[in-house]
Amino acid sequence: MDPVTEIQTGLAIYAAFKISEKQISKLLGPTSDYLGNSLKLWTEKGLKNISSIFQSAINKLGRKIDNNGGVPAKVLKIIINEGAFCEDALQAEYFGGILASSRSDISRDDRGVYFASLVSRMSSYQIRTHYILYHTLKNSFNGQEIPFENGIEMSMRRVSVYISADGYIKAMDFNQKEIEIIDSLIGHIFFGLQKENLVHTFYTELKESLRIGKDSTLDPGILFLPSPLGIELFLWAYGFNDLALSGFLKGDIIFESYNDIKINGYCKSDSDPNSWAYSKY
């Protein structure tokens, strides 16, 4: 490519991003050198999709973007290749968080490769459900000290979470056609999340009472136990790659909700696993 065309291509890329070259250089560090040859292959639509991911990453980094660091090339490759076809806003936010989380001054810290690949395998239904489940977990137990690092038996069973069928359906924003195939969707969503170890266990019943133990029942809904990986993905999606699992519930750690996703109600267990205290936010 001749120098004039090269310059024009570069200008078109940054114009599509609506992000300055300086911002991109700060975000990616030395890896920004890969952009020229990669992005000129994409359509305008693809560039806009990538742009939304980059902007999300910049927003999540905030002032930390001025610190030394860069994004590993392997992480950038996955996010560019997958992000160009990412039209789901929430998935773009997850990719943006992973991109922000991947920015480090440790040259071999490429953990983001794993999380970017994981999100690329998830459907929009699974990503939205993951978001709903772990926001509900955070709001149910916020401020409590639970040592998630100790594993399932020591900590996860203390944080069972129930979401009503009505609350889940509203949060997912299912339309009528989706309601008609909801049993198929539920199987796809929850068995998929369990296969990826993003939930430990789950029980779903959107039409009949949910039986808990021998004598206790709940109204139709979803009961789930979180997993360490599910929490870790949530942290990375918000740019908190340096936060330990136990930091997830710290009261001063805030995960802002996206405006179009409303979680109307939930309930949480107290010291008795068969007793439930209702709450809303």
Are 181 and 199 part of one and the same domain?
yes
Tally of domains within the chain: 2
pTM assigned to the model: 0.81
Are 25 and 52 part of one and the same domain?
yes
Q: Starting at the earlier edge strand, list the strands of the sheet with 266-269.
A: 199-205, 221-226, 161-164, 266-269, 276-279
List Cβ neighbours of 242 (8 Å cut-off, separation of 6 or more): none
Q: Is 26 within 8 Å of 66 (Cβ atoms)? A: yes
Enclosing domain of residue 246: 124-279
Q: Which of 121, 141, 171 is the C-terminal boundary of a domain?
A: 121
Are 81 and 159 part of one and the same domain?
no
Give the pair of three-digit tokens for residue 264.
Answer: 């109307």
The residue behind tokens 């610190």 is 67
Per-residue pLDDT at 109 = 84
Are 170 and 151 part of one and the same domain?
yes
Distance CA(41)–CA(175), nearest Å, equals: 36
Residue 59 DSSP symbol? H
One-letter amino acid identity for 130?
Answer: H
Are 273 and 198 part of one and the same domain?
yes
Per-residue pLDDT at 114 = 95
Are 68 and 158 part of one and the same domain?
no
Give the bridge partners for 267, in sequence order. Answer: 162, 278
Are 75 and 131 part of one and the same domain?
no
Q: Which of 101, 121, 141 is the C-terminal boundary of a domain?
A: 121
Taking the alpha carbons of 185, 281, 237, 24 in that order, is the dihedral positive or negative?
positive
The residue behind tokens 């998630």 is 148
SS3 per residue for 125-187: HHHHHHHHHHHHHHHHHCCCCCCHHHCCCCCHHHCCEEEEHHHHHHHHCCCHHHHHCHHHHHH
Are 73 and 167 part of one and the same domain?
no
List Cβ neighbours of 183 (8 Å cut-off, separation of 6 or more): none
Are 103 and 129 part of one and the same domain?
no
Per-residue pLDDT at 84 = 84
Q: Which of 121, 137, 165 is the C-terminal boundary of a domain?
A: 121
Per-position pLDDT tens, the chain of length 281: 443 343 344 445 555 556 666 677 667 766 665 565 555 556 677 788 888 898 999 999 888 888 888 888 899 889 988 988 888 999 999 999 999 999 988 888 899 999 999 999 999 999 999 999 999 999 888 998 887 776 655 455 567 888 888 889 999 999 999 999 999 999 999 999 999 999 988 888 777 777 665 556 778 888 888 899 999 999 999 999 889 888 999 999 999 887 678 776 666 554 444 444 433 33
